[in-house]
Amino acid sequence: MPYPPADVLGWFLAAAGLASALAYIWDRFYSLHGLPSSIPWASAGHSLLARGRSSRRSLFGLRALIEEGYNTYSKHNLPFILPNLATGPEIILPPRDLKWLLDQPDAILNQNAVNTAFLAADHTMLHPHIIRDTVHGHVIRRELTKNLDSYAAAIVDEIEEALSGTWGRNARDWTDVPAYESLLRVVAAISNRVLVGLPLCRDPAYLKASATFARNVVLTAGAINLLPPFLRPLLAPLFTAYDTLQYRRLAAHIYPIVAARVSSFKPGMDYKSPDYSAHNDYVQWALHDAFSHADPAERTAEMITKRLAVLSFAAIQSSVITITNALFDIASHPDSLDIQAALRAEVTATTAALPPAQQWSRKHLAGMHALDSALRESMRLWGFIARGVSKAVLPAEGIRLPTGEHLPQGSKIGIMAWALHHDPSLYPSPYAYQPFRFADKRLSMVTSSPAFMPFSHGRHACPGRFFAANQLKLLLAHILLKYDIAPIPTRPPNPYGGGHGAGG
């Protein structure tokens, strides 16, 4: 059979390319994604043009779009649709329906399914089990949280080492430091002190790989999610190549440590009476956990190493963004020096009369209400993900909302934390950083509520938040004790879609 002439083939390919591009634009900007047309798109109504307008604004004006949707619909107890060009639109429920959302069983509405898609986990998360089956959740809730006091001294030691190694000790002159970049190094070191211990947490090559993996993985996921689904399996390996390289570098350090320790474990161990006398770090806790449960696939050095890499992403990136935001908020406040002095005074007053071994205990950190409030307030303003709770519909038959609309399988439903955190009826002067807003109320930064969800809310709230809060309070206290932060006239803007990432 003769081949078609080259120009016919060319036209055919061009037409196919154009059709794919139009289908892509339709899918991202205009498609209803099976959602009922009775639910309006954020601030824009129901029509095709309204959907396109709303989708475009989600790219360049997400914050304003969220607030308009909240004021127009949520305040009147109505749901609305918030577009998301990367991961698809989400139904935002009014705050009144939060309880309904949280009460649904995981088999009906599932938070993990949203994270799996958002993180493009099949491509970025090193192993298909890692996000879908968060087996280490109980290690975080148990050892990492319960042992806080047992490793507080180690964290303080690491903070002092990392700060002086990164920011130096110059008592005479002001020194400019790139806030996010330098804090990434500091937080990577102190997190790794607990995850893998000494000496690895001070190894520059390991720290660089760990911090780079932690920072990049979510950006890579965002880029993959922008690809049409049929291209993802083909192109994802290219997108993840740099992260895979970081993982290999990181694994070259951790794998031998894990492999050496694996030999001392036996399947079927008693999880109730662990022996951590030789090593009290995350690697050891995770190994103990793996060998006391049935699944042999979880007991390999490779799996433990991969889970550790992913956990360091969850632990490091969120904490760096949080501390960077807090320092910017403190530095750019008109009363910056007074705020620093008040926080410093609280830390000194709490610790001065205590023996060194108790100074940084969980109990005494909990008593530093102003320090806690300064961090909680910054998280309210800039919570590092705009959404509070987000779940995907699992049943094939879909689900019916409390307001009566039917949503098909795969739809996303959530509550938007950003709008609640900036609602003047909940927080007067919601855009002002008021560091002591929560100090008198004695609301700890880990206490989530329907009006405060930077760690999410309900049974899937961040399991690492007690560790995170402890680490961040210790870090902020030591920054204030050892350094002055020069006031800045204007707060640097936060990059990323919702304006919730930390500046540089």
List beta partners, residue 452: 449
Distance CA 45, CA 22 (A): 23
For the CB of residue 285, give the shortest distance to ligand HEM in the complex, in Å: 11
Kindly state the smallest distance separating residue 178's Cβ from ligand HEM, in Å: 20
Nearer to ligand HEM, 69 or 458 (CB): 458
- State yes or no: residue 124 binds ligand HEM (CB under 6 A): no
Q: Say how far apart CA 500 and CA 418 lie, in whole Å.
A: 9
Q: Is 201 annotated as a binding residue?
A: no
Pick between residue 315 and residue 480 the one whose CB is nearest to ligand HEM. Answer: 315
Positions in 316-345 near ligand HEM (CB under 6 A): 318-319, 322
- Please give the radius of gyration of the chain, using alpha carbons only, rounded to the nearest integer: 24
Q: Are strands 412-416 and 406-407 parallel, antiparallel or unpaired?
A: unpaired
CA distance 88 to 268: 43
- For residues 355-374, which are near ligand HEM according to CB under 6 A? none
Tokens at 281, concatenated: 């770090």
Please tell me whether residue 31 adopts helix, strand or coil conformation: coil
Instruction: Specify whether the CB–CB gap between 371 and 477 falls below 8 A.
Output: yes
Transcribe 74-113 into DSSP letters: GGGT--EEE--TTT--EEEPPGGGHHHHHHS-TTTEEHHH
Among residues 359, 456, 470, 494, which is the contact residue for ligand HEM, using CB under 6 A?
A: 456
Nearer to ligand HEM, 44 or 130 (CB): 130
Q: Is 121 in the site for ligand HEM (CB under 6 A)?
A: no
- The 277-316 site mask, x for binding ligand HEM (CB under 6 A), equals ----------------------------------x--xx-
Work out how close the CB of 30 gets to ligand HEM at its nearest, in angstroms, rounded to a whole number. 27
Using CB under 6 A as the binding rule, whether residue 434 contacts ligand HEM is answered as no
The tokens 């993959």 sit on which residue?
Answer: 224
Q: Which of 87, 104, 110, 112 binds ligand HEM (CB under 6 A)?
A: 112
Q: Report how many residues bind ligand HEM under the rule CB under 6 A.
A: 26
CB atoms within 10 A of CB 432: 11
Q: Is 361 exposed, middle or buried (0-12, 13-18, 19+ CB in 10 A)?
A: middle
With contacts defined by CB under 6 A, name the span among 83-91, 158-166, 353-361, 458-466 that binds ligand HEM.
458-466
289: alpha, beta or left? (left if phi > 0; alpha if psi -120 to 50): alpha
Distance CA 268, CA 292 (A): 5
Among 240, 390, 411, 470, binds ligand HEM (CB under 6 A): 390
Residue with smaller CB distance to ligand HEM, 51 or 465: 465
Among 164, 158, 203, 155, smallest CA distance to 182 is for 164
CB of 29 or CB of 452, closer to ligand HEM = 452
Query: Out of 137, 168, 256, 395, which residue is the one contacting ligand HEM (CB under 6 A)?
Result: 137
Known binding-site residues for heme equal: 462
Residues that bind ligand HEM (CB under 6 A): 111-112, 115, 134, 137, 140, 144, 311, 314-315, 318-319, 322, 384-385, 390, 454-456, 460, 462-465, 467-468
